[in-house]
Amino acid sequence: MTYILQVDFKMEGPFGHEMVKEFTDLAKSMNEEEGLIWKIWTEDRGAKEAGGIYLFETKESACKYLTMHTAR
């Protein structure tokens, strides 16, 4: 069964088009994550937050990703 994970974190920037430029390599590496089906990038410049909503093939692959992501 698929599993949705939402991650939010504090971030000073960049946002918008600058975020796209800065995180292109990160986005490419996420495509290689085991079990990741898709990610929606989120950002709130006013609250200085960013994150994403992810769909994984299984809860186990989501938990594995969250453990790795939290360590960053």
- CATH number for region 3-71: 3.30.70.100
3-state secondary structure of 10: strand
HSE-up (13 A, CA, CB side) for residue 1: 3
- What's the pLDDT score for residue 30? 83
Residue type, 49: E
At 23-63, the pLDDT tens digits run 898 888 888 899 999 999 999 999 999 999 999 999 999 99
- What's the pLDDT score for residue 29? 85
The order of strands in the sheet holding 49-56 is: 3-10, 49-56, 36-44
Q: How far apart are CA 52 and CA 25, in angstroms?
A: 16
- What's the pLDDT score for residue 47? 96
Average pLDDT over every residue of 7-36: 90
* Structural domain boundaries in the chain: 3-71
- What's the pLDDT score for residue 40? 95
Report whether pLDDT(69) > 80: no
